[in-house]
Every structure is written in structure tokens, then in C-alpha cells.
Chain A
Amino acid sequence: MVKQGHLSLHVPEPAVRPGGQPDFSNVKIARAGAVPRPNVDAAAEDIRDLAYSIIRVLNRDGEAVGPWAGLLSDDDLRTGLRHMMTLRAFDARMLMAQRQGKTSFYMQHLGEEAVSCAFRKALNKGDMNFPTYRQAGLLIADDYPMVEMMNQIYSNESDPLRGRQLPIMYSSKEHGFFTISGNLATQYVQAVGWAMASAIKNDSRIAAAWIGDGSTAESDFHSALVFASTYRAPVILNVVNNQWAISTFQGIARGGSGTFAARGLGFGIPALRVDGNDYLAVHAVACWAAERARRNLGPTLIEYVTYRVGAHSTSDDPSAYRPKTESEAWPLGDPVLRLKKHLILRGLWSEERHVQAEAEIADEVIAAQRKAEEHGTMHAGGRPSVRDIFEGVYAEMPPHLRRQRQKAGY
């Protein structure tokens, strides 16, 4: 008989805590260009390795290499850089606006700009994203007006959502951006439903689901994967692994699984892992998945390996749970600087043009901000009506809400 000792509970810990030396030696990074590009009709089990490696296009010298390179034109690349720079500048202004008390809350994308900006370029007009709160690049890269985003952030009199939603919980059907819930993971399975509807109607449009590393632990993530798998829904299942769920490192959600991408394999869903700080790689992998969906080959799961450089939101201080210098040690670099380097290397960009572009973008963002502030901010100027509290709960206001609105004086 085997002698048994006492049991003990395993509670995972990140490699380093505040005060320690940042250490990403456990993050295995494939050489750029090393991961093959399979045909889009490949079966999940035949491309298992892609769920454990990292697809990369831009190498350390800024060259685009390997089978995933070569999809984007020079203009596309310059536009992509501009979108990421715009998102970064927008974030910086809005973060400052929050500190100035012009809004209650903000969430920035610092370090993750490539994921949503590049992904948007793989979609067509009419496709639908079901985003989380850290994909505003989907709007920026689709030329959604920044002033509308700011009106929403300020909950001012021109807020398209009439003051009802937390700042940054945008909604735009026209721009393929489903109303952000703020509730985690719920939208993942809704995206699968939208994609199923498109298939039921023999349409050509596809859906994209978004979730963070932490929220993959929610049961709705598994609901989404089983429905997507069963009905071969034309959906791209995106997991943005930015290493941190507020203060909780990704190991708490990932558990014993090697990667988040590997979660797809048990459902027979082809799963790819990609360098989330590489604009070209994100775009190429998204195009691969979009083509699969459009050819009725079903869902794809993509894990974007990236790093949340900033705080989770304006309500937490990362130095309380991770080393202050951790972001500098992140081995996949900065997505803006990496694309800039590539463009300069190819003679499509220069330091001077970059400085000039930064100034132009800053002007655009400030102009949009001025325009938005003419319509008020959270605590000053024009704001949505008290009437807006009661409108839109139902298509037609039921009698009990009419009575309550009257009681409120409206």
C-alpha cells in the first residue's frame, strides 16, 4: 500500500512581486518568421503546435520575415502606425481628463494598441465585434469620430448613450462595435450567436468575440467555445493575454494549461498564438481566421500575447502588485516603436516624420477634446436629461415607468 501524506493546496504565484527583479524568462518566444502558415482549411489537431508557439513577423532588426509577412501595402502600414499613435494620444489625453475630474473613470490601451488597430483591418464593413473595454482601436481604425468617443466618456449633453453607461463603454452598430457590457465574458457567447445568425441567413458577414486572459475563466467562455464548435460558427474568438487581470497574474486563470490558445484544441477549434505587439503578425493571423470564417470553415481561437503597460483602470495602482519596471523588461517590446522601426528600415518613414505625425495627432485629439468639452464634461456644462434615465428601458414606456418619471419631475 502506498503511504499517503497530508494534502496541500496549490495556489499559483507570479514569478516576481513588487521589489523583485522582473523576469520573463518563462515566456518562450519563437524567432520571427519561424512559425509556418498552414492552409486555412487545416484541422485543429494538425496545427496543434501553433497554439503553443508565438507567430511573429517583425524581427529585432525591424524586418518583416517569414510566411505570415507581406499582406499589407506601404500605405496600410503607415495608416496602421497612425492609428496606434492616435489611440495612444487619445488615451493620454483622456487619462489626464480623468485626473482633472472631467470624467469618473478611464481605461487605457498602453502597450496593446496593435491588437485592436490591426485586427480591425482584417474585417469588412458589416462584420461585428463584441468587444471588451480595451479594444477602442477597433473604432479608431474604422475612423469613428473621436469627438463622439469623448462625448461618451464625458457623459455630456451629446453623449450618444445619454449618460447611461460607464465611460469608454461605447456602442456603434454602424462601425461593427457591439455595445460594451462591462460585465465580463458575457459578450463572448453573444458573438457566437451573431455569427450563427449570419450562417442561418446564408450571409457573408462574420463576428469577432473579445475577452481578456482573466475572463477566460468565466463559464461563458466555455459556453462560447462549445456553441462555436458545435455549429461551426463563423466567428473569430480573440483572447487578449495582457498578463494581468487587475492585480491577478494570468496563471490564476490559465491554471495547468500551457497557453490560453490551447483551450481551443479540446473543442476542435484551430488555435493560434500570436505576438500581440507586432502589428503585421496580428493583422496576418486575423486575416487567416477571417478567411476561415468566410469560407464557412468555422471558428478560430487567437491568443494575443501582449503586456498591459498601464494600470487596469484609473482605479488601481500596479506598483502594489507587480514590479514597477516590469513593463520595460517585457520581451515583445512596444508595438508603436516596432512598426516605426520597420517603416524607417524600409525607407517609408523617418524620425522627423514621426515627430511631425505626433504633433499632428496631438492637434487632432486636442481639437476633438475642445469640441467635446463645448458640450460639457461629467461635472460641468451640458449633461443628459433626467428624462433619459427613464427612456429606452423598453421600446414603449410602460405605465409604471411613466408614473416614476412624473414623480421625478419630468
Chain B
Amino acid sequence: MARMTMIEAVRSAMDVAMGRDEDVVVFGEDVGYFGGVFRCTQGLQAKYGKTRCFDTPINESGIVGTAIGMAAYGLKPCVEIQFADYMYPAYDQLTQEAARIRYRSNGDFTCPIVVRMPTGGGIFGGQTHSQSPEALFTHVCGLKVVVPSNPYDAKGLLIAAIEDPDPVMFLEPKRLYNGPFDGHHERPVTPWSKHTLGDVPDDYYSIPIGKAEVRRQGSAVTVIAYGTMVHVALAAAEDTSIDAEVIDLRSLLPLDLDAIVKSVSKTGRCVVVHEATLTSGFGGEIAALVQEHCFYHLEAPVMRVAGWDTPYPHAQEWDYFPGPARVGRALTDVMEA
């Protein structure tokens, strides 16, 4: 067991997977010699050689397209898109190819690939380095979508993703790379070395995709979140002293509906939180499912807290980000409704 940052946990997952299975290959822009702009692949080329971990041309559709071909051959590519914002050139390959190869060939060919990408704001990256495009993936049948919130989950889920027989989009919230950022940007971030979920086994383990985790038990209201917003929701519960139950989805597709229904049926109130823009965001899907499955338990309308429906601004990052104050207001509102 070691204390790891999320970067180290992600790297350890790929290291373990590559060590166990020679068919696992890792590639993307700057991931080879340099080890990635966020250093998630540092040391892998030196350890496994440059035919198993290598740099690619700046061409996302080429990265995903070649990964699909390699998967058809029998490899298990785990590729990096440098920022989630850069995935659009690969979107055709993801939605119309990777997601449908098993289906359209009736299992004659399959596509076991993992596409990792740093997601969300956190580095004053403005509109092209801060996006959260997960809903563009959850809308695509045939993809799986995973968003970890801590180093322990990141490693276990990434190993599960690499072992998964189908394509998995693995979104890594870059605000969480170094610590459990709770949205209080005016305070220093606690490093993962001081957090129990920074305890990560060095060896192999996996966490099943499709299972949520309750991060805080509570009875007043259910907060459904994933990634960075899990920590923001926890902070909002503390700040408002509202006894919220915080569910960390971990995987958006498949979705752990049972965990959601169980909690909302108990609390009767629900707030969904994500950093991605509001309209047609994944929160809309959760809200719809909650009213379909928990309508007679609900004591208040389901509320959503999300990024504004604007491009991610540069200088006004903290006015854009749905921090603990906005989540706290939603908790108060839903309790008073």
C-alpha cells in the first residue's frame, strides 16, 4: 500500500495492466518519452519499450482510429486524449465505429479500447482546456463512461476499464489529480497523501464498472455527483449542516440506478450536481430517472446544479464553477421546498 496522487494511481493502473498483459499498449500525444503533459504515463516507455508506449502525431481521430484497428487485431489499447476538449476530431471514430463494431458485426469483431482524457476546469484553461463532455458519450449506445473521484477508485476502475471487452471512456477530473479539491478555491487543497482514498495498493485490484459508492450517509437529501463534484457536494453538506447523503456515481454508463433509487426513496429529496453545462447534461437524465422511479417518495422537485450554459471562461473560472456555495443554496432550497 502506498499513498498516491490520482496521477500516480492512473499510472500505476497502466503499469500493472501492461505488466500482466502484453497486449496492453499505451499511446497518445506526448505520452511516450515525456510521459504525458500531466505525467500519467511517465516511465512506461522506459519500462515496457517504445512499441508498447509511444508518442503519436497530433491527430485524435488517428489515435482512436488506430486503437480500433489494434483492438480488432487483438490488442488492448489504452490511449490518451491530451484534454477532453480535444476529443472532437475522434468523435466520429468513437460514436460510429468503436461503439458499434460489436453490434454491427454481431460479435465477429470487438473493440476493447480505453480512451483516457483529463476533464473539467482547474488550470485556468479557458474554453479549450476545461470542458466536461461526458454527456456526449453517455448519449452513445455501445460506450461505457467512467469518472473516478479519487486515486483508489481511479486505479481500480482503470484496470477494470482496460480489462473490459467494450470501449470505455475514462474521464479524469484534472482538479483531482493532486488532491480532493472541494471547490473552496480560496483555501489550499489537501494533498491526497493526507486522504484515506489516497491509500492505493501497489498491486493488481479492480473495481467493477457500474457500481456507485455512498460517500456520506445522510437522511435529509440525496446529492448525486461524480468526479470533482463529489468533493464539492461533501463540502456543501458540511458548510450548510444539512444531513445530505452523497452518492459518487463513479460510472455514468452503465449507471447504478439501484443505488440512486434506494437513497432517494429514503431521503425524498434529490440534487444532481455536475461541472458540465446544464442543458441536456447528464443531470437531466438522472432527474428523469429519479422522477420515473421515485415519484411517490419525492417531497420536492429534483434540482440540478451545473456549469452555466456558456463556454468555459478564462478569467471568471470561479464564477463559472458550481462550487460549494451554489450547491449549498440548492440544498437549502430543496429542504425548504
Contacts and interface: CB of A to CB of B under 8 A. Distances in A.
Contacts of B70: 193-194, 196-197, 200
Interface string A186-229: 11111111111111110000010000000000011001101100
Given A164-B103, A398-B210, A128 B72 contact: yes
B62 A190 contact: no
B311 interface: no
A8 interface: no
Contacts of A207: 69
Residue among A164, A181, A398 with the most chain B CB within 10 A? Answer: A398
A191 B69 contact: yes
B102 to A, nearest CB: 6
B93 A186 contact: yes
B102 A392 contact: yes
B109 A394 contact: no
A259 to B, nearest CB: 24
B104 A189 contact: no
A151 B70 CA distance: 29
A195 B109 CA distance: 16
A223 B51 contact: no
A337 to B, nearest CB: 36
A395 B165 contact: yes
Nearest to B92: A186
Contact of A183 (B57, B72, B96): B96
By size class, the interface of chain A is 35 or more
B104 A171 contact: yes
B106 A223 contact: no
Interface in A135-193: 160-162, 164-165, 169, 171-173, 178-179, 181, 183, 186-193
B52 interface: yes
B74 interface: yes
A164 B106 contact: yes
A399 B254 contact: yes
Given A183-B92, A226-B57, A227-B66, A128 B73 contact: yes
A194 B65 contact: no
Nearest to B254: A398
Given A183-B97, A230-B57, A193 B105 contact: no
A28 interface: no
A209 to B, nearest CB: 9
B202 to A, nearest CB: 27
A165 B104 CA distance: 6
B52 A173 contact: no
A186 B141 CA distance: 18
Given A189-B62, A224-B62, A399-B257, A197 B73 contact: yes
By size class, the interface of chain B is 35 or more
Interface in B44-86: 51-52, 56-57, 59, 61-62, 65-70, 72-75
Interface string A108-143: 000000000000000000001010000000000000
Contacts of B93: 186, 189, 220
A393 interface: yes
Contacts of A193: 65-70, 72-73
Contact of A186 (B59, B65, B67, B108): B65
Contact of B106 (A160, A183, A195, A201): A160
A400 interface: yes
Given A200-B51, A399-B257, A190 B69 contact: yes
A227 to B, nearest CB: 5
Contacts of B110: 395
A171 B73 contact: no
B104 A192 contact: no
Contact of A173 (B65, B104, B109): B109
Contacts of B62: 189, 192, 220, 223-224, 226-227
A192 B108 contact: no
A395 B102 contact: yes
Residue among A160, A178, A189, A192 with the most chain B CB within 10 A? Answer: A189
Nearest to A207: B69
A322 B61 CA distance: 35
B107 interface: yes
B66 A189 contact: yes
Given A164-B106, A169-B104, A190-B69, A197 B75 contact: yes
A186 B69 contact: no
Contacts of B146: none
Nearest to A225: B62
B109 A179 contact: yes
B104 A164 contact: yes
Nearest to B255: A400
A189 B106 contact: no
Contacts of A169: 104
B104 A219 contact: no
A161 B62 CA distance: 27
B25 interface: yes
Contacts of A220: 61-62, 65, 92-93
A190 B104 contact: no
Contacts of B103: 164, 392-393
A224 B63 CA distance: 10
A173 B59 contact: no
Given A198-B73, A400-B257, A393 B97 contact: no
Contact of A394 (B57, B92, B142): B142
B19 interface: no
B166 interface: yes
Interface string B309-332: 000000000000000000000000
B72 A162 contact: no
A197 B104 contact: no
Residue among B52, B62, B108, B109 with the most chain A CB within 10 A? Answer: B62
Contacts of B56: 227, 230
Contacts of B102: 392-395
Given A194-B72, A392-B106, 10 more contacts: A179-B104, A181-B97, A186-B96, A194-B73, A197-B70, A220-B65, A223-B65, A226-B59, A398-B254, A400-B255
Q: Which 9 A-B pairs have the closest CB atoms?
A: A193-B69, A193-B66, A189-B65, A223-B62, A197-B73, A179-B105, A190-B69, A398-B254, A194-B69
10 contacts: A164-B103, A179-B104, A188-B65, A189-B62, A190-B66, A193-B69, A201-B73, A220-B92, A393-B102, A398-B253
